[in-house]
Amino acid sequence: MQIYVCVKHVPDSSAVITVLGDNQIDENVIFLLNPYDEHAVTEAVKIKNSLPDSEVIAVCLGKDDAEKTLRSALAMGADRGILVVSDAPHESIEIARVLKTVMAQDGIPGLIITGKESIDAKGMQTMFRIGALFDFPVATNVIRLDIEGDIAIVDSELSGGAVDTYEMSLPCVIGAGRGLNTPKYPTFPDVVKSKKKVVKKIALAELDIGTSKADMWIVGLEPLVLVRKPKEITGDTDEVAREVIRILREEAKVI
């Protein structure tokens, strides 16, 4: 079976983000394999090890530099990588079309796994778009995945810890959640082994991804975390508690 893992090259969650111009960021920060995709790669390799004659192919759309992220996936056990090279920013409608096209061109996907979201965009939708383009069933925030014959049995985590169990016919698309596994990171011998693995690069212009009437793009970016000027909350315990709750509700909007 060919197991495809869709990975994204994202800025480290702890990177300091500086906005340049209207809608760009300073990319002189650490970029790495999207943390949710680490679970996807780990799961794909685990399944591959239990299914004879299977192969794990990591696919990515990004700048030339995203090869590093594919190399991380290869060091974690993927067999080969495909990088669709594009310098332009892309949103999920396009990303899904590109990844679908390149997977369909490369082989016959038996299973597609990706992180349930990317930490930079948090759009949470690429896996569903890939599923729709292939007409494959999709489940997200998957915390258990068992393959039984041509059926995938998955547990998907909902709010409040509730869990749904679904059966999906293969091929299907899986959005990996944090609870799926503990990522298996590469050892030095794994890194040495992966150096021989191949990353194929395809220019985006070489792919026919079709056209969509729908589109989305970032027109403006503004930094959110600015210099902090502490305000003191005073009063008796009851007043302070009420004020903290007001801040959580009205300013932070987390209640």
Partner 1 sequence: MNKKYDAIIIGAGVIGSPIAYELSKMGYKTLNVDKFHDAGEGSTAGSCAIVRASYSTADGVAMAYEGFKYWLDWENYLDNVTDEKGLARYMNTGSILIKSQGHKWQKVQENYEEVGVQYEEWNNDKIKEMVPVADLHEFWPVRRPEDPKFFDEPTNEVEGALFCPEGGDVTDPALSAHNIMRAAEAKGAEFIFNAEVVDVRSEDGRVTGITLKDGTQIDAGIVVNVAGPHSFLINKMAEGVWEGCNIKTKALRHEVMYCPAPEEYDYLNEGYHMSDGDIGCYVRPEVGNTFLIGSEDPDCDSQEWVDPDEFYEGKGGHGRDNVLTEEQWKAQCYRLGKRIPTLQVPNQPKGVVDLYDCSDDWIPIYDKSDLPGFYMAIGTSGNQYKNAPVVGRMMAELIDACEKGLDHDNEPFQYKFKYIDRSTDVGFFSRKREINYNSSFSVNG
Partner 2 sequence: MKNIGIIIELDEGKIKEINFGMITLARAPDSDLFAFVLDADVTAVREDLESYGITKIVDVALASDQRNNPAVRAKAIANGIKEYGIGAVFGLSTATGKDLLPRIAAQLEAPLVMDCFTVDLENNLAWTSRYSGKTSASIKVTGDIVVFGVRPNAVEPVKGQVSSRILKFDGSRIVSRGFKFVKRAAGDTSVKISLAEADVIISGGRGMKNGDNFSILSKCAEKLNGAVGASRAAVDSGWVPYSMQVGLTGEKVSPRVYIGCGISGSIQHFAGMKTSGLIIAINTDKHASLMADCDYSVLADVLELIPEITRHLENG
Q: What is the dihedral of CA 40, 132, 163, 181, to 10 degrees?
A: 0
CA dihedral over 83, 86, 87, 93, signed as positive or negative: negative
Task: Decide if residue 185 touches partner 2 (CB under 8 A).
Answer: no
- With H, G, I as helix, E, B as strand and everything else as coil, classify residue 172: coil
Q: Is residue 14 part of the contact set for partner 1 (CB under 8 A)?
A: yes
Between the alpha carbon of residue 165 and those of residues 110, 117, 140, 170, 235, the distances in Å are 20, 20, 11, 16, 49
Q: Among partner 2, partner 1, none, what does residue 191 contact (CB within 5–8 Å per kind)?
A: partner 1
Q: Does 208 bind partner 2 (CB under 8 A)?
A: no
DSSP string for residues in 57-98: EEEEEE-GGGHHHHHHHHHTT-SEEEEEE-SS---HHHHHHH
Instruction: Give the HSE-up count for residue 17: Cα atoms under 13 Å, Cβ half-sphere.
Output: 18
Contact characters 54-83, partner 1, x per CB under 8 A: ------------------x-----------
**Residue 189 sits in the site that holds partner 1 (CB under 8 A):** yes
121 binds, options partner 1, partner 2, none, Cβ within 5 to 8 A by partner type: partner 2
Shorter beta-carbon distance to partner 1: residue 35 or 137: 35
Residue 16 or 203 with smaller CB distance to partner 1: 16
Our finding on whether 164 is near partner 2 (CB under 8 A) is yes
Q: Which of 23, 165, 169, 187 binds partner 1 (CB under 8 A)?
A: 187
Is 242 among the residues that bind partner 2 (CB under 8 A)?
Answer: yes
**Binders of partner 2: how many residues, by CB under 8 A?**
87
Stretch in the footprint of partner 1 (CB under 8 A) among 15-23, 82-90, 165-173, 200-208: 15-23
- Cα separation, 69 vs 150, in Å, equals 30
